[in-house]
Amino acid sequence: MLRVALDAILARMRIAVNRARKRLGSAFSCFLLALASSSYADSYDVLAEPDGKDRWLPAVLVVAGYSFQDVGATVRSGDLMGPSFVNSTNPIRPPASGHDLMTTPDVGLGFELMTPTLAGSSWVPRVFHHAIVSGAFGPYRDVAKEGTIEDLAVDPDITNPRDNNVTGQGSRTRVQMDKLVLRAGTGVAWPVEAFGRNLRVRLSLEYVRQVMNVEGAVRRAVCDVSNGAPVPMCGAIGVDNGGGGIDDFREIDLRKDKQKALHGLGPGLELEADAGRLGSIVPSLSIGVQAYRFLGDRDLKFYTQNEYGETARFTFEQEPWAIRAGVGVRFRWIPE
């Protein structure tokens, strides 16, 4: 069983990595194409102008990228406790657990400030600080799941349907990154020559705050003996379709939602190049990657119960590291 689970996790990781490699390969190709078509055919670097080395350089950032992080979850329900199940040891639904390598796209807007050069030369580094507000728009992922949760229904052609004839039963714990993501960083931008151009290599310490939305649900249909239905057959009382109906069943619907805020720190590496001058505005293109190590408690546990004391318990766990890769455009204010 352990070998099967590991093989499944590795298979999902390979799929996500291949998908990310294609997307980032396209982004890098666009980055190189933009450099090649830039109006700066020579190696002229605006930030290296003699009258620019002593300036503070503000900039507005537009960024887009993908985050990759491995999460785990479980769902476990208690015993049936309603009418006719007072002494039952039967669980409401079977337990489920799983892991998922989540891939979440984001788009953000930020502000950056670069200091003057750290010495008199234009070819020494500048320190920069930035803050970015991003919107993430990844889907919910069913990390732990068994069955299929949907509206309960019974095939009207089935006479005297049993519990297992009811569709829509199941349990799950699903996870989504919340829309609001906050990032900030500080580092050093070092000018280098590469690809026949003057570029800047940016090394930084990055911070991220993100919130994970965790939703748990367990749904089950059992014979409603309060309506006089026999056990385990529930169709004798049906009046809607003449052969037993969903009204003969008691619906167990246990749901609860929680959020987990995560804070991460880690290194960032970015390659940047100016793409031209538009009056006092100098746009630049960049491509980079950040690695975040989440701090503190990364687990979340919660449960819910109904009026009969029937319970469901859910857990979420964030693995220690997450990776983000993306591209960006800076519009830097450098008056002529």
Distance between CA atoms of 214 and 99, rounded to whole angstroms? Answer: 14
- How large is the average pLDDT for residues 130-135? 98
pLDDT at 118 over 70: yes
Range ranked top by mean pLDDT from 9-18, 19-28, 59-68: 59-68
What's the chain's Rg over C-alpha atoms? 28
> Which pLDDT score, from 0 to 100, does residue 242 have?
44
pLDDT tens, position by position, 92-108: 999 999 999 999 999 99
Supply the DSSP string of 239-304, one letter for each residue.
Answer: -SSSS--GGGEEEEEEEEEEEEEEEEEEEEEEEEEE---BTTEEEEEEEEEEEEEE-S--EEEEEE
DSSP 62: E
Residue with tokens 């026999």: 230
Coil, helix or strand for 13? helix
Give the CA-trace dihedral at 48, 108, 326, 287, to 10 degrees.
-10
pLDDT at 170 over 80: yes
- How large is the average pLDDT for residues 272-284? 89
> Which pLDDT score, from 0 to 100, does residue 330 have?
96
pLDDT at 275 over 90: no
Strand ranges for 115-196 from DSSP E: 126-136, 141-147, 153-154, 166-167, 170-177, 180-194
Alpha carbon distance, N-terminus to C-terminus of the chain: 67
> Which pLDDT score, from 0 to 100, does residue 285 have?
95
Angle at 112 between CA 108 and CA 114, to 5 degrees: 155
Coil, helix or strand for 55? coil
Q: How confident is the prediction for the chain on average, in pLDDT? A: 82
DSSP 91: B
Q: 119: domain range?
A: 2-333
pLDDT at 183 over 80: yes
> Which pLDDT score, from 0 to 100, does residue 19 have?
52
pLDDT tens, position by position, 45-60: 555 543 467 889 999 9
- How large is the average pLDDT for residues 274-294? 93
pLDDT tens, position by position, 133-169: 999 999 999 999 999 999 999 888 877 778 888 999 9
313's tokens: 């318990």
pTM of the model: 0.80
Q: Which of 15, 320, 317 is nearest to 144 (CA)?
A: 317
Cis peptide before 232 (omega within 30 of 0): yes
Supply the DSSP string of 184-252, one letter for each residue.
Answer: EEEEEEEEEEETTEEEEEEEEEEEEEEEEEEEEEEEEEEE-GGGT--SS--GGG--SSSS--GGGEEEE
Q: What is the tally of structural domains in the chain? A: 1
pLDDT at 11 over 60: no
pLDDT at 321 over 90: yes
Contacts of 251 (CB under 8 A, 6+ apart): 152, 219, 220, 221
